[in-house]
Amino acid sequence: MADRNTFRLMLLILGLVFAFLYLPISVLVGLSFNEGGLPTAWTGFSVKWYGELLANKDILRAAGNTLIVAIFSTLLSTILGSLLAVGVEIRRRNGKWLETMIFAPMIIPDIVLAIALLSFFSLLGVKMGLHTIIVSHVVFNLAFVSAVVRARLKSFDWSIVEASNDLGATTATTMRRVVLPVLMPAILAGALLAFTLSVDEFIIAFFTAGAGRSSITLPMQIFSMIRFGVTPEINALATVVMAVSVVALALSQRLNRGGLPGQ
């Protein structure tokens, strides 16, 4: 009897926590489809606020910038991060310092990295813009990519590499024909994760974008819009941004869990 009550209590807790987690964003998504746009009354379903987004030049430019930043930082960090992961796992015996350095970008507070990079770029006299955001995003993205790829390598059977070598394949061929195909799902999952992180990243972009409006990214645009209050347009934009990251993440999860084809 007591067990059944405990179970009910657990269900209640779960219900409350999930309500807390999902109600605020649900309200936001709901309001973005409200014709009147006000939270006071539901005046009917409409996608007109999404139409407004497409007509807003600032938002479109910011979205374009975000796409450029995300694509380039994803490409760079996927290559660097995957190579790093393979190197680290082949080497096995890595010092504590090395492990810390690889792990650090994931836990270092954004604001610290942001001001460090801002000081660094300005002392070097680098003109800041989208390119500085890209190289800065690679710092934390490559750490996440390498973490995802390393996780896959933990269960990697290195004897197939030896087999490939014994059969006369060069190291390059072994890498391309044996290691890469096995790692591909993890690399793609890492790339998608990097893409999502880059699309959503605000603080580092904000500090390394330089002056002027030409290199504003979507999160920066959202930040400046939010400061002036609630509008149905932001609701729609927020919904789109949220949908993009959730879809990319779900895809990444799926890829990574999929395992090897034919296994």
Partner 1 sequence: MTTDRRPILLMSPALLWLFGLMVVPCLLILVLAFFRRGMYGGIEYTFTLENIALVFDPLYAQIFLKSAWIAGLAAGIASILGYAAAYAIAAMPRHRQSALLFFAVLPFWSNYLVRTYAWIVLLNREGLIVNLARWVGFEGELPSMLYTEQAVVIGLIYNYLPFVILSCYAPLSRLNPEISEASRDLGASGWTTFRRVVLPMTVPGIATGFVFVFVLSIGNFVTPALLGGGQFQMIGNLVYAQFLTANDWPFGAALSMVLIMVMLGLLMAQATVADRASGGKAGDNG
Which region among 62-70, 112-120, 148-156, 180-188 touches partner 1 (by CB under 8 A)? 112-120
**Residues 41-70 within binding reach of partner 1 (CB under 8 A):** none
- Asked if 196 touches partner 1 (CB under 8 A), the answer is yes
Among the listed residues 61, 71, 184, 223, the single contact to partner 1 using CB under 8 A: 223
Q: Are 238 and 32 in contact (CB under 8 A)?
A: yes
Which of 91/154 has CB closer to partner 1? Answer: 91
Q: Are 245 and 70 in contact (CB under 8 A)?
A: no
Which region among 46-54, 59-67, 148-156, 160-168 touches partner 1 (by CB under 8 A)? 160-168
- Asked if 191 touches partner 1 (CB under 8 A), the answer is no
Alpha-carbon distances of 153 from 75, 202, 242, rounded to whole Å: 20, 31, 31
Backbone region of residue 43 per phi and psi (left: phi > 0; alpha: psi in -120 to 50; beta: other values): alpha
- Whose tokens are 């930082």? That residue is 73
Environment class of residue 224 by beta-carbon count within 10 Å: exposed (0-12), middle (13-18) or buried (19+)? middle
Which of 13/54 has CB closer to partner 1? Answer: 13
**Quick one: DSSP state of residue 170?**
-
Which of 71/249 has CB closer to partner 1? Answer: 249
- Asked if 147 touches partner 1 (CB under 8 A), the answer is no
Please state the closest distance from residue 55 (CB atom) to partner 1, in A: 21
Strand, coil or helix: 51: helix
Among the listed residues 19, 47, 54, 90, the single contact to partner 1 using CB under 8 A: 90
Tokens of 63: 């979205």
Q: Are 242 and 32 in contact (CB under 8 A)?
A: no
Among the listed residues 43, 58, 64, 119, the single contact to partner 1 using CB under 8 A: 119
Among the listed residues 102, 192, 205, 209, the single contact to partner 1 using CB under 8 A: 102
Helix, strand, coil shares, percent, the chain, to 5: 80, 0, 20
- Asked if 81 touches partner 1 (CB under 8 A), the answer is yes
Which region among 42-50, 62-70, 181-189, 198-206 touches partner 1 (by CB under 8 A)? 198-206
Tokens of 204: 């580092």
Please state the closest distance from residue 239 (CB atom) to partner 1, in A: 8
Q: Are 45 and 33 in contact (CB under 8 A)?
A: yes
- Asked if 233 touches partner 1 (CB under 8 A), the answer is no
**Residues 170-189 within binding reach of partner 1 (CB under 8 A):** 171
Q: Are 86 and 179 in contact (CB under 8 A)?
A: yes
- Asked if 40 touches partner 1 (CB under 8 A), the answer is yes
- Asked if 108 touches partner 1 (CB under 8 A), the answer is yes
